[in-house]
Structure 1
């Protein structure tokens, strides 16, 4: 009973036969594709993808991640010699990290030796209050606050 289910499961393919046949026909050396060859290529592809997914998932678990990403696949490919030989060169190049290791601050950036053009100002000055307004606000606050009584005991 178990053998019948296994044979039935192994005889069907997860990939559409027509699409696999079209991909195989892209090779100029392939004229016709027999049903046995089509089955073997489909099944081999399924087994390879299952293997690659399992190894990539192991890498993700090692790195304490819940989602498998390209770097996990790349690491899994590097660890398996036969896969590395034919697949590593076809993987997309690693992406550059989006987050810099050290945060950059405006103080750490080199300042330009050129004086600013007339009528221009630095961007950080845009977020500061003009000096006149700041002085006027300080004076207004000083006038509205009653003097603090001093205890002379």
Structure 2
């Protein structure tokens, strides 16, 4: 069971690895939901409240997390905000040349999820991994 934000990161990364080996919407969704909650654990560990000010700070520091948060909240509340990224805007398609996940997914016949960010279709798995990597870098910098 997780006991820290880094434990949550490890769980999300394990889910992403499982997803890469056996693409499944359930695994990717679980990774997104777990990654989204890393910041809750981080705030609790550091005695900070996850209020509007903290959310705005985190959105600036980790824009990938904000997209994951919007996808997660839209799914959780079954009421997507049309001004935000949400699960209803996910694009389900096979990877194509130029995608971050091209070499892992092309030719498998298994669709992957993408989300439009600034008019570019970004693989949700890459977005999730990018956030987790940036979070670990942040922890390494601040703990030295």
TM-score scaled by length of structure 1: 0.26
Higher strand share: 2
Higher helix share: 2
Say which structure, 1 or 2, has more relative contact order (CA 8 Å, 6+ apart). 2
